[in-house]
Structure 1
Amino acid sequence: MGLGAVGLLMTINQTFALKLLGFYPIGNAFIYYLIGLFLSAALLIFPARKADTERLPWYDWVLAGAALGGAIYLGLNGLRMTQQGWEYFAPLEATLVATMMLLLVLEGVRRCGGWAIFAVALLFGLYPLYAGHMPGFLWSNGFGWGETIRAHVMGAESIVGVPMQVVANLIIGFVVFGIALTITGGGEFFMNFATALMGRSRGGPAKVAVVSSAFMGSLSGSAVSNILTTGTITIPAMKRSGYSREYAAAVEACASTGGTLMPPVMGAVAFIMASFLGVSYGEVMLAALLPAVLFYLALLLQVDNYAARKGLMGMPAKDIPRVRDTLLSGWPYLLSLGVLIYMLLVMRLESQAPYYATLILLAIALVRRQQRLRISQLLDFFYQLAHGVGSLVAVLAGIGLVVGGLSYTGVAGAFSRELLLYAGDSIPLMLAAGAITSFILGMGMTVSACYIFLSILLAPALVGAGLNPLASHLFILYWGMLSYITPPVALAAITAAGVAGANSTRTSLHAVRLGAVLFVLPFLFVLNPSLILQGPLLSVMASAFTAMTAIWLVAAAMEGYLYRIGSVGVRMRCALLVPAALMIYPEWISDLLGFLALAVCYLMAMLHTTKRADITKCST
């Protein structure tokens, strides 16, 4: 908690240039201090082995102290490091400290990210050592041990590179805002608000799960933590209303997974994306808005179709709060969100906006009794901050080794050139290769790690093929996060299955069907940038309408229910995919053919329904 409090105070001092007690370190020194504080916190919070879960062994204190001490040494010498080029030539003691910090970063990424990310960080972090022995475009001038260590720890492209700069300048503020919303009761408000909006409709509990997870996921950006908070309420409610355990868990898994994509506070990867692209976070947020809305619309349509086909009703009236009462009790959360969005999109104060929004929320909490904070909540606030930011710092510092290893050797650019050469002029082949690569890497990495890795290797190739840069980066993000709901990993589905007491394999299969639109959406917006709000307004509106129609048809095909018709068989479900596929392709001719095919499907369905009714009448 103390490390989290000091880290927050130092970040606020840097963000607002307060210069408290004359302390205002230069850029790399500030990042070293943050790494020291939050990497130390991660080494104390996340155990080295399962046996240490219930205790804090002495060696964790030693490692945490070493991380803090090493970072302070590097921070105090930050200016000297830059002026004298320690990246190339450094005193012996500085090289020894750098070696120690490199090992501690690897231990941190192992504890917080797992063995898969540790292996990737180690393999690519050490790439400069054996690059001179690699064949073809993988070859590069080799580095020695000392050169590699100094480049990673004291250079500008690795541990203190873009990922850590984004954490220091942007992400900590948004983590603070998300935690403040949660501990002041924001989670309960958004759950009540979703219930008031959707609870009365058929299949109400499932729709509440979708909407509440969209709200909460947009603030936390974490699928698993969202499931463990909202899911403990929504999954039992869905089971009571008639949904099977597996289906209820799958709904929550898909809805929570979409939180990474939902503005205004997306996952950490969105901030990293903005830095890589050299655009404002507000621009990334706007681009991600329509695809996220389309995804949640597809989920709502599917659970509605399922409820209609199964005859499931809404929630009891006594369990549904009034919209007016809910808004009156929760207006501080909406006000703080409104301030955040205004400052992001209009004032462009990205680094300062979450702190102002948090300040407004906490000021109101001091006045209103129902949101007033207790000492225990404040302590929990600092613990959650140390836990969340500590995990991010440990993982992203480790992924910085990957960025550094590929940047220093120049292999990243060579890989992109080779991929372009292999694909030729075939955009579909390029996208297919990108989708498969992103999906496979997403199985063993966090979304942020997967995105950072592929933004260096794959994104330049997609952009070089003529695709929209922002759409290309979002394409990688979407495919990287699919592993949350698809076997064999399906982390979100497995977590939700645990909450529901359901079979994890069947839950994963249900989640794949519910999240089918996630497999389609990336191709929609990467081929048609109007869907990320790039282009004339009329083009954006036409593309949005066509995409919504296509998604509605996919939902109808997946669940076997067509509005105004009722339940449909396998043949009609397959037939509905034809107009959906035609509307996905971004050409007005294909859209026109798609609407004609939809009309034919409806005509066939109505004729079949009439014929079936006549047969039933005659038999009666």
Structure 2
Amino acid sequence: MALGLTGLMMAINQTFALKLLGFYPIGNAFLYYLIGIFLAAALLCFPARKADVNRLPWYDWLLATTALGCSIYLGVNGLRMTQEGWEFFAPIEATMTASLTLLLVLEGVRRCGGWAIFAVALVFGLYPLYADHMPGFLWSNSFALDETIRAHVMGAESIIGVPMQVVANLIIGFVVFGIALTVTGGGDFFMNFATALMGKSRGGPAKVAVISSAFMGSLSGSAVSNILTTGTITIPAMKRSGYSAEYAAAVEACSSTGGTLMPPVMGAVAFIMASFLGVSYGEVMMAALLPAILFYLALLLQVDNYAARKGLKGMQPEEIPRVLDTLKSGWPYLLSLAVLIYMLLVMRMESHAPYYATLVLLVISLFRRHQRLSVRKGLDFMYQLAHNIGNLVAILAGIGLVVGGLSYTGVAGSFSRELLLYAGGSIPLMLAAGAVTSFVLGMGMTVSACYIFLSILLAPALVAAGLNPLGSHLFILYWGMLSYITPPVALAAITAAGVAGASNTRTSLHAVRLGGVLFVLPFLFVLNPALILQGPVDRIVLSSLTAITAIWLVAASMEGYLYRVGNIKHLARLVLLLAAALLIYPEWISDLIGLTLLGCCYLAHRVAWRRLPTDRPHDGLERQTEGR
């Protein structure tokens, strides 16, 4: 908690140029100090082995102290490092300090990100050592060991590269805002608000899970933490309403996964994307808005069709709060969100906005007893800050080694050129390759790590093939995100299964089936920039309508239920799926054919209805219509 408070004060001092006690370090020194503080916090919060979960061994204290000492040395010598070019030639003690820092970064990424990210960071971080032994376009001049260490620790493109700069300048503030919302009761408000909106409708608990996860995910950006907060309430409610444990867990897993894509706070990866693209975070946020809405609309349609097909009801009236009462109790959260969005989109004060929004929320909470920040909540706030940012810093410093290794050898550019050459300029082939690569890497890496890796290797090839740059980067992010709900890893599905007491395998399979519509979405917005709000207004409106129609048809096909018709058989489901595919393709002729197929389905149902004997009871009528 002391480390978290120190890191927060240092970030505020740097962001607002307060120069407290005359302290205002230059850029690289500030980054070294933050890395030391939060890497030390990570080494104290995340155990080296399972046996240390409930204790803090002496070597963790030693590693944390060493991390602080190394960062202080590097920070104090930050200006000298730049002026004398320590990246190329440095005193022996500086090289030794850099070696220790590199080892601590690797240990931090192993603890926080797991062995998969550790292996990726190690292999690509050491790439400059053996690049001259690689074949073809993977070949490059090699570096000596001391040169590689200095380049990674004292260079500007590795551990203090773009990912760490984004953490220092932007992400800390947004993490603070998200934690402030949580500790002051924002989670309860958004859950009650979702219940008030959707609780009465058929399959109400599942829709509450979707909406509440959208709200909470937009603030945390973490699928697992979302499941462990909202899922402990929504999953039991779904089970009480008639949903199986596996289906309830799958709904929560899919809903929580979408938080990475949901504005206004999309997780660390969105800020990194803005830096890579050289655009404002507000632009990334607006581009992701419609895809995020389509994501959650797809889930709502799926669970609604499922509830209609199974005959599931809504929640009991006594379980549903009134909308007005909920808004009266939770208006401070909405006000702070409004302040955040206004400062992001109108004033364009990205680094300052979350701090001001947090201040508004905390000041209002002082006058509201149930939301007031008590001593216990304040301590919890500091612990969550150290824990969450420590986790981010450890992982992104490790991924910085990947960025540095590929940048120093020049292999990143060569890889993109070769991919473009092998694809022969075929956009569908490149998108398929990108989807598979993002998906596979996402199985063993966090979304941020997967995105950073592929934004260097794959995104330039997609852009060179003529695709929209922002759409291409969102495409990579989206497919990396979907690995959370798909086997064999399916981290979000397994976490939700643990909460529901369900089978991991069956939950993962339910999540894939439920998320079938979601696998269509990235192709929609990467092929049609209008869906990321780029282009003429009329084109955006038309594309949005066709995309919504396509999602509706895919949901109807996946669940076997069509509005105004009822349950449908396999042939009708295939026709609807074909109609959806035609609507996805951004051409008016394909849209017209898709709508014609949809009209034929309804017309066939109407004809079948009229041909049935009039003395049939309604149940038999519906069954015979279903058969036709």
Deviation of 1:606 after TM superposition, in Å, equals 3.0
* Residue 274 (structure 1) aligns with: 274
Structure 2: which amino acid aligns with 1:215? F
* Residue 187 (structure 2) aligns with: 187
* Residue 2 (structure 1) aligns with: 2
* Residue 518 (structure 1) aligns with: 518
Give the distance between the partners of 1:611 and 1:92, measured in 2 at CA: 91
Give the distance between the partners of 2:509 and 2:443, measured in 1 at CA: 16
* Residue 432 (structure 2) aligns with: 432
Deviation of 1:227 after TM superposition, in Å, equals 0.3
Structure 2: which amino acid aligns with 1:297? L
Give the distance between the partners of 1:445 and 1:479, measured in 2 at CA: 12
* Residue 57 (structure 2) aligns with: 57
1:205 aligns with 2:199: no
Structure 2: which amino acid aligns with 1:185? G
Give the distance between the partners of 1:611 and 1:437, measured in 2 at CA: 52
1:420 aligns with 2:423: no
User: How many equivalent residue pairs?
Assistant: 620
Deviation of 1:517 after TM superposition, in Å, equals 2.0
Equivalent residues in 2 for 1:96-495 (5 A)? 96-495=96-495
Instruction: Describe the SS at the equivalent of 1:229.
Output: helix
Give the distance between the partners of 2:607 and 2:506, measured in 1 at CA: 36
- Contact 1:478/1:518 (CA < 8 Å) preserved in 2? no
Instruction: Describe the SS at the equivalent of 2:31.
Output: helix
Relative to the length of structure 2, the TM-score reads 0.98
Q: Percent of pairs identical after alignment? A: 81
- Contact 1:572/1:605 (CA < 8 Å) preserved in 2? no
Give a deviation string over 1:495-550, Cα, whole Å, max 9, x none: 11111111111111111111112211111111000000000000000000000000
Deviation of 1:615 after TM superposition, in Å, equals 9.0
Structure 2: which amino acid aligns with 1:419? L
* Residue 603 (structure 2) aligns with: 603
Structure 1: which amino acid aligns with 2:346? V
Give the distance between the partners of 2:608 and 2:579, measured in 1 at CA: 19
Give a deviation string over 1:79-123, Cα, whole Å, max 9, x none: 000010000000000000000000000000000000000000000
Instruction: Describe the SS at the equivalent of 2:366.
Output: helix
* Residue 568 (structure 2) aligns with: 568
Give the distance between the partners of 1:207 and 1:422, measured in 2 at CA: 45
- Contact 2:102/2:153 (CA < 8 Å) preserved in 1? yes
* Residue 625 (structure 2) aligns with: none
Deviation of 1:373 after TM superposition, in Å, equals 1.4
Give the distance between the partners of 2:291 and 2:509, measured in 1 at CA: 23
Deviation of 1:607 after TM superposition, in Å, equals 3.1
Give the distance between the partners of 1:384 and 1:425, measured in 2 at CA: 47
Structure 2: which amino acid aligns with 1:25? P
Mind listing any 5+ residue stretches in structure 1 that lack a counterpart?
A: none
Structure 2: which amino acid aligns with 1:212? S
Give the distance between the partners of 1:566 and 1:20, measured in 2 at CA: 67
Deviation of 1:609 after TM superposition, in Å, equals 4.5
Give the distance between the partners of 1:511 and 1:609, measured in 2 at CA: 35
Equivalent residues in 2 for 1:23-62 (5 A)? 23-62=23-62
- Contact 2:191/2:208 (CA < 8 Å) preserved in 1? yes
Give a deviation string over 1:441-488, Cα, whole Å, max 9, x none: 111100000000000000000000010000000000001111100110
**What root-mean-square deviation, in Å, do the aligned CA atoms of Structure 1 and Structure 2 show?**
1.2
Instruction: Describe the SS at the equivalent of 2:163.
Output: helix
Relative to the length of structure 1, the TM-score reads 0.99
Structure 2: which amino acid aligns with 1:497? A
- Contact 1:565/1:609 (CA < 8 Å) preserved in 2? no
Structure 2: which amino acid aligns with 1:104? L
Structure 1: which amino acid aligns with 2:598? L
* Residue 18 (structure 2) aligns with: 18
Instruction: Describe the SS at the equivalent of 1:279.
Output: coil
Instruction: Describe the SS at the equivalent of 1:230.
Output: helix
- Contact 2:485/2:491 (CA < 8 Å) preserved in 1? yes
* Residue 544 (structure 1) aligns with: 544
Deviation of 1:272 after TM superposition, in Å, equals 0.3
Give the distance between the partners of 1:534 and 1:611, measured in 2 at CA: 48
Instruction: Describe the SS at the equivalent of 1:250.
Output: helix
Give the distance between the partners of 1:76 and 1:272, measured in 2 at CA: 27
Deviation of 1:605 after TM superposition, in Å, equals 2.7
Structure 2: which amino acid aligns with 1:85? G
Give the distance between the partners of 2:378 and 2:51, measured in 1 at CA: 29
> CA 1:248–1:153 in structure 2 vs 1: closer, same or farther (change >3 Å)?
same
Give a deviation string over 1:391-418, Cα, whole Å, max 9, x none: 0000000000000000000000000000
- Contact 1:525/1:531 (CA < 8 Å) preserved in 2? yes
Give the distance between the partners of 2:617 and 2:115, measured in 1 at CA: 65
* Residue 626 (structure 2) aligns with: none
Deviation of 1:603 after TM superposition, in Å, equals 1.3
- Contact 2:298/2:518 (CA < 8 Å) preserved in 1? no
Mind listing any 5+ residue stretches in structure 2 that lack a counterpart?
A: 622-628
Structure 1: which amino acid aligns with 2:141? N
- Contact 2:171/2:268 (CA < 8 Å) preserved in 1? yes
Give a deviation string over 1:206-226, Cα, whole Å, max 9, x none: 100000000000000000000
Give the distance between the partners of 1:48 and 1:498, measured in 2 at CA: 24
